[in-house]
Amino acid sequence: MKRILFVPIFLFTLFATAQTEVESTIKKIYQTALVDGQSYAWLEHLSNQIGGRLSGSLNAQRAVEWGKEELDALGLDKVWLQPVMVPKWIRGTFEYANIETSPGNTINVNVCALGGSVATPLAGIRAEVVEVKSFEELSALGADKIKGKIVFYNRPMQADLVNTFTAYSGCVDQRYSGAEEAAKLGAVGVIVRSMNLRLDDYPHTGSMSYGDLPLRKRIPAAAISTNDAELLSSMLSLNGKLKFYLKQNCKNLPDVQSYNVIGEIKGSTYPEEIMVVGGHLDSWDLGDGSHDDGAGIVQSMEVLRLMKKIGYQPKRTLRVVLYMNEENGQRGASKYTEIAQQQKEKHVFALESDAGGFTPRGFSIDTTPEKLKNIQAWAPYFEPYLIHLFVKGGSGADVAPLKTDTNVLAGLRPDSQRYFDYHHASNDTFDAINKRELELGAATMAAMVYLMDHFKL
Amino acid sequence: MKRILFVPIFLFTLFATAQTEVESTIKKIYQTALVDGQSYAWLEHLSNQIGGRLSGSLNAQRAVEWGKEELDALGLDKVWLQPVMVPKWIRGTFEYANIETSPGNTINVNVCALGGSVATPLAGIRAEVVEVKSFEELSALGADKIKGKIVFYNRPMQADLVNTFTAYSGCVDQRYSGAEEAAKLGAVGVIVRSMNLRLDDYPHTGSMSYGDLPLRKRIPAAAISTNDAELLSSMLSLNGKLKFYLKQNCKNLPDVQSYNVIGEIKGSTYPEEIMVVGGHLDSWDLGDGSHDDGAGIVQSMEVLRLMKKIGYQPKRTLRVVLYMNEENGQRGASKYTEIAQQQKEKHVFALESDAGGFTPRGFSIDTTPEKLKNIQAWAPYFEPYLIHLFVKGGSGADVAPLKTDTNVLAGLRPDSQRYFDYHHASNDTFDAINKRELELGAATMAAMVYLMDHFKL
């Protein structure tokens, strides 16, 4: 009896000790992030002193230089800029729209050009409007009814989906391919309902593509605020012949030189195994990109700072990548992956934060079923911090290209309810950030990096 | 083999069918709340058209009448007002404070009287300041060093606690009993650091008590904003002899008549078994009480509306109680409990929402270990809605008095990170509410009520 009893007690003691070390390291991470964090002050600077930083803009270059300086100041083992050519699109000097309910009788509405759109002619375009909710509806109407018209895509985000990103996925085809599809049927422009679950006055921009339409066939595309989408739809139901006027002078320019900003702490035991944390340094130009993705940038930087602050020396190389050009090209991610492959780097883990600086709920994880199961077994370590989601799913646009058969990719999953209130709109500003929510996200990322490094998966 | 296989398949089918009914009802609840909800429009009215509604005020009476009207409009089986006498404290016409760094050299600071405080003399009080972090520190200083001074309680909320309510509990003694303790040592007034995790300019009010101190011994008490608490502390470190000036003319008046507002749907099978959902209708006077506790009021009302909307007839009687006077007396809760006991009512379940209108995370549950375990077994039903907390703990100030040895009391637990940014301050206003977060809270309450009614615990 004695002997039989001895074994489990001994094992339990070992296990308990091991747990305590892991638990106390994670506790130290959270405490440091909440009491002595840097992420909020960093974001204040990035948002308020730099601001919106669309790829190719002078502000994007200022952000690159700021990122490099701040990483340099952390005393990492290596900090460098990785050159990458990025597209340059500029909003131009005006964007303007109105509904003409009868000749001379107009109501101004809130619009913004979609990223990548061509300009209207200098005099603008004025045309009748055809409202549709889907490409099926568009194609059923056919060229006869579309030719010479402005197509108004008005399928709203589905309010009953708890995950707002799912609702976004269900709508974003209108923004991304709406102009291409409408142009094929002879439309002269498109207006897209903003990807926003709220009814408000902010138009939300975002990337769009003309596919392989030749230049002369490309038509201007703009987003309209949800309030004005409702207004336009309601007016159309009373007067199907009303006209819409749109004027914008945005422009695509030649590619320009930019950079990913990279810093790393060399691994003590397995330096050739690389763990990446990252977000994207570029943003849209309307707000200051605090949630998208300033939050992810400062959280990723904070992961490395926290490790140094608590005196944890990673066994694997821990790298932060501030990706350029996620929003309209993902050139930074492509370049980073290309170089990594050239240099035969082994990325064992990559974690992206690009879903807003809200209270973290967990992770979406892309790996083998066995590794997913092993990670899910860590859930108890996260319980004190109310982190409960460890679901199989996509990681993020910037780290996804690093996928191999064996590595682990993940995306931080914050609470998603408020994200699309701000996404790509002029109200994505620093005041929409809560300090503690931001800090909890950084700590949650750092805890996951620590666990990945501490345990062998 | 066939026979052996048959049994589990059959059981599985039965179980699958049963699950489907429960799952689909819960899905309908969430969908209706998110797509066709009433809580946000109700709160808009309560916050913007009525506003702050301190017990005994005319606005509290307007809120009572609004609540009764709205419940009447729902077509419940019974709606009534339950009379209750409530304390009446008024803020008065001015509250003002400054730091006098040298004679004639003053800096204004943001203060507000604590609820229940006496006024200063008409000319105000001007005195030296003693800063303390705890009652222990106060008592160690003793009457010698406190007499004639203003005591400044400056222990901040602990930032490293993930549950901000725990941080609040660890500080609120300063606000509640600070004046009583300081007065016993001869202080002439107290200034309390606002219970706020952010550094900002809003003073946060809240209830305080003089214990059994006689009237002539009572000293004025005010909250100071966190920014100004930091300022005062920093200035004190440079000049320990600086003076603080406080002037306020708040006042306690005789009790006045008010009401709990109650509505119910009679149970179809066990009408004598009562399930309560509720929040408190009164609020502090500084903001409009959107989070505290307008959110809980409209969510509770929404629970009954959702049941009717989806056509669910509860087997037990479902009652909504809009409690009066939670903030400074809990007279509504006492009266409701007193009447319930008189009438030998059997409350099997009571659920309170009084922790803000933020994304719901789960429930804090006060019941027997067996029933807690049974409730925790329902977690999978809540998983699609990201509800994951089913912890043993307190319910809420208003429903707690209903406790018996066998019933279930619970409190909705929303994400707590932002709650104390607004709590009892003038920025607790409707614009701080996110529609979806509010609606998810209402749906989560309704789903729990449905499960409590559907299953026999």
Query: Which residues in chain A touch residue B385, judged by CB atoms under 8 angstroms apart?
Result: 162
What's the domain range around B309? 29-89+254-454
The closest CB to that of B388, out of A34, A159, A388, belongs to A388
- A-interface mutation test, from B415, B419, B422, B439, most A Cβ less than 10 A away: B415
Q: Identify the domain boundary among A249, A282, A307.
A: A249
My answer on whether A229 and A336 are in the same domain is no
Show which residues of B are catalytic.
326
- A-interface mutation test, from B28, B36, B160, most A Cβ less than 10 A away: B160
Query: Which residues in chain B touch residue A434, judged by CB atoms under 8 angstroms apart?
Result: 417-418, 421
The closest CB to that of A418, out of B164, B384, B434, belongs to B434
My answer on whether B198 and B159 are in the same domain is yes
Bridge-based pairing of strands B389-392 and B360-366 is parallel
| Short-list A318, A311, A339, A312, CA closest to A401 | A339
Q: The tokens of B214 are what?
A: 């006689």
Provide the pLDDT for residue A1: 35
C-alpha neighbours within 13 Å on the C-beta side of residue B195: 22
Provide the pLDDT for residue A18: 59
Which whole number is the average pLDDT over A304-328? 98
Q: Identify the domain boundary among A249, A283, A304.
A: A249
pLDDT over 90 for what percent of chain A?
Answer: 95
A433 touches A48 (CB < 8 A) = no
Distances (CA, A) of B331 to A43, A178, B65, B84: 46, 60, 18, 7
Judge whether residue A384 has pLDDT over 70.
yes
B142: left (phi over 0), alpha (psi -120 to 50) or beta: left
pLDDT in tens, A392-403: 999 999 999 999
Q: Report chain A residues touching chain B, CB-CB < 8 A.
A: 30-31, 34-35, 159-160, 162, 164, 197-198, 359, 361, 384-386, 388-389, 415, 417-418, 421, 434-437, 440
In chain A, the number of structural domains is 2
Provide the pLDDT for residue A14: 46
Sequential DSSP letters for A30-65 = HHHHHHS--HHHHHHIIIIII----TTSHHHHHHHH
My answer on whether B115 and B96 are in the same domain is yes
d(CA B195, CA B192): 9
Q: How far away is chain A from the Cα of B417, in angstroms, using its nearest Cα?
A: 6
My answer on whether B204 and B155 are in the same domain is yes
My answer on whether A296 and A429 are in the same domain is yes
Q: The tokens of B397 are what?
A: 């100030």
Question: Would B289 be classed as within a structural domain?
Answer: yes
Question: Would A224 be classed as within a structural domain?
Answer: yes
| Short-list A63, A68, A84, CA closest to A332 | A84
Query: Which residues in chain A touch residue B34, judged by CB atoms under 8 angstroms apart?
Result: 159-160
Provide the pLDDT for residue B243: 98
Which whole number is the average pLDDT over A409-430? 98
Active-site residue identified among A95, A326, A327, A439: A326
d(CA A198, CA A71): 37
d(CA A329, CA A284): 12
Question: What predicted TM-score, i.e. pTM, was given to this entire model?
Answer: 0.95
Q: Nearest residue on chain B to A164, judged by CA atoms?
A: B436
Question: Would A385 be classed as within a structural domain?
Answer: yes
A150 touches A187 (CB < 8 A) = yes
- Residue A202: which CATH number? 3.50.30.30
CB atoms within 10 A of CB A135: 16
Is A31 in Cβ contact with B160 (below 8 Å)?
Answer: yes
The closest CB to that of A415, out of B384, B385, B415, belongs to B415
My answer on whether A124 and A59 are in the same domain is no
Q: Nearest residue on chain B to A384, judged by CA atoms?
A: B162
My answer on whether A239 and A372 are in the same domain is no
My answer on whether A69 and A120 are in the same domain is no
- Residue B448: which CATH number? 3.40.630.10
Residues whose CB is less than 8 angstroms from the CB of residue B65 and which lie 6 or more positions away in sequence, other chains included: none
ipTM attached to this prediction: 0.94
Distances (CA, A) of A308 to A226, A275, A302, B98: 45, 16, 10, 43
Residues whose CB is less than 8 angstroms from the CB of residue A184 and which lie 6 or more positions away in sequence, other chains included: A213, A217
Q: How far away is chain A from the Cα of B299, in angstroms, using its nearest Cα?
A: 17
Is A30 in Cβ contact with B160 (below 8 Å)?
Answer: yes
Q: What is the 3-state secondary structure (H, E, C) of chain B?
A: CHHHHHHHHHHHHHHHHHHHHHHHHHHHHHHHHHHCCCHHHHHHHHHHHHCCCCCCCHHHHHHHHHHHHHHHHCCCCEEEEEEEEEEEEECCCCEEEEEEEECCEEEECCEEECECCCCCCCCCEEEEEEEECCHHHHHHHHHHHHCCCEEEECCCCCCCCCCHHHHHHCCHHHHHHHHHHHHHCCCCEEEEECCCCCCCCCCCCCECCCCCCCHHHCCCEEEECHHHHHHHHHHHHHCCCCEEEEEECCEEEEEEEEEEEEEEECCCCEEEEEEEEEEECCCCCCCCCHHHHHHHHHHHHHHHHHHHHCCCCCCEEEEEEEECCCCCCCHHHHHHHHHHHHCCCEEEEEEECCCCCCCEEEEEEECCHHHHHHHHCCHHHHHHHCCCEEEECCCCCCCHHHCCCCCEEEEEEECCCCHHHHCCCCCCCHHHCCHHHHHHHHHHHHHHHHHHHHCCC
My answer on whether B275 and B224 are in the same domain is no
d(CA B90, CA B255): 12
Is B160 in Cβ contact with A384 (below 8 Å)?
Answer: no
My answer on whether A244 and A277 are in the same domain is no
Is B197 in Cβ contact with A440 (below 8 Å)?
Answer: no
Question: Would A4 be classed as within a structural domain?
Answer: no
Report the mean per-residue pLDDT for chain A: 95
Question: Would B5 be classed as within a structural domain?
Answer: no
Question: Would A166 be classed as within a structural domain?
Answer: yes
- A-interface mutation test, from B39, B226, B388, B416, most A Cβ less than 10 A away: B388
pLDDT in tens, A165-187: 999 999 999 999 999 999 999 99
Q: The tokens of A265 are what?
A: 């702490």
Q: Nearest residue on chain B to A435, judged by CA atoms?
A: B198
Provide the pLDDT for residue B58: 98
Provide the pLDDT for residue A185: 98
Sign of CA dihedral B401, B406, B411, B413: positive
B200 touches B228 (CB < 8 A) = no
Per-residue pLDDT of chain B (457 residues; tens, 9 = 90+): 333 334 344 444 445 555 699 999 999 999 999 999 999 999 999 999 999 999 999 999 999 999 999 999 999 999 999 999 999 999 999 999 999 999 889 999 999 999 999 999 999 999 999 999 999 999 999 999 999 999 999 999 999 999 999 999 999 999 999 999 999 999 999 999 999 999 999 999 999 999 999 999 999 999 999 999 999 999 999 999 999 999 999 999 999 999 999 999 999 999 999 999 999 999 999 999 999 999 999 999 999 999 999 999 999 999 999 999 999 999 999 999 999 999 999 999 999 999 999 999 999 999 999 999 999 999 999 999 999 999 999 999 999 999 999 999 999 999 999 999 999 999 999 999 999 999 999 999 999 999 999 997 8
Which whole number is the average pLDDT over A149-162? 98
| Short-list A10, A24, A9, CA closest to A454 | A24
Helix or strand or coil: residue A372?
helix
My answer on whether B109 and B77 are in the same domain is no
Q: Identify the domain boundary among B214, B249, B284.
A: B249
Provide the pLDDT for residue B17: 54
d(CA A416, CA A421): 10
My answer on whether A413 and A293 are in the same domain is yes
Bridge-based pairing of strands B125-132 and B150-153 is parallel
Is B388 in Cβ contact with A34 (below 8 Å)?
Answer: no
Is A436 in Cβ contact with B34 (below 8 Å)?
Answer: no
Residue of A342 and A15 predicted with greater confidence: A342
Provide the pLDDT for residue A456: 76
d(CA A81, CA A69): 11
Question: Would A344 be classed as within a structural domain?
Answer: yes
Provide the pLDDT for residue A173: 98
| Short-list B400, B412, B410, B394, CA closest to B354 | B412
Question: Would A13 be classed as within a structural domain?
Answer: no
Which whole number is the average pLDDT over A106-111? 98
Judge whether residue A266 has pLDDT over 70.
yes
> Using 50, 70 and 90 to split pLDDT, how confident is the model at A457?
confident
